[in-house]
C-alpha cells in the first residue's frame, strides 16, 4: 500500500518557467512533509518542508503548498533553472521515526 504517491515519474520544463511537482498521500495522521532533491550518485538533500498546521511555506524560488482536505502537496519552483534538474522526493512524517517517501519525480529543466 503506497501511502505517499508521486504519480508523475518525469517532468520537463523550459528554463525560466514554473515547475510544479505533485505528491498525494493517504494517511491523515501525517503531520509533517518534506521535499528532497537528489542528483545522480549522491544522497538526497533536504529542500523544503511544511507542517500540517500550515498551508504554504516559501524559501526563495521554492514554495510548498499543502491541501489537507485533498491530501495533496505540491512543490513550485519559480523560475526553473537547469541546475534544478534532479529527482525530487516528497516524504511524509508520522511520529518520531516513520518517514514515508514517494517514488520520486525526475525533473528536467531545458535550457
What are the residues binding another protein (CB under 8 A)?
4, 9, 32, 34, 36, 41-46, 49, 89, 93, 96-104
Residue 87 pairs in a beta bridge with: 38, 106
> Would you say 20 or 100 has its CB closer to another protein?
100
Query: Rounded to an integer, what is the distance from CA 2 to the centroid of its chain?
Result: 16
Backbone phi and psi for residue 37, each to the nearest 5 degrees, phi listed first: -120, 140
> Would you say 43 or 83 has its CB closer to another protein?
43
Compute the least distance from the CB of residue 102 to another protein, in Å.
5
Compute the least distance from the CB of residue 41 to another protein, in Å.
7
Compute the least distance from the CB of residue 16 to another protein, in Å.
29
Compute the least distance from the CB of residue 46 to another protein, in Å.
5
83 φ/ψ sector (left φ>0, alpha ψ -120 to 50, else beta):
alpha
> Would you say 77 or 90 has its CB closer to another protein?
90
Complete edge-to-edge strand list for the sheet that includes strand 72-77: 4-5, 19-25, 72-77, 62-67, 56-59
Amino acid at each position: 500500500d503506497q501511502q505517499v504517491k508521486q504519480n508523475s515519474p518525469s517532468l520537463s520544463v523550459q528554463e525560466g518557467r514554473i515547475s510544479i511537482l505533485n505528491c498525494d498521500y493517504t494517511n491523515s495522521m501525517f503531520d509533517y512533509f518534506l521535499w528532497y532533491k537528489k542528483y545522480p550518485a549522491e544522497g538526497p538533500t533536504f529542500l523544503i518542508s511544511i507542517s500540517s498546521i500550515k498551508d504554504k511555506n516559501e524559501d526563495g524560488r521554492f514554495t510548498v503548498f499543502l491541501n489537507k482536505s485533498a491530501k495533496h502537496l505540491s512543490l513550485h519552483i519559480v523560475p526553473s533553472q537547469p541546475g534544478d534538474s534532479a529527482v525530487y522526493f516528497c516524504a511524509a512524517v508520522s511520529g518520531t521515526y516513520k518517514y514515508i517517501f514517494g517514488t520520486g519525480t525526475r525533473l528536467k529543466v531545458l535550457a
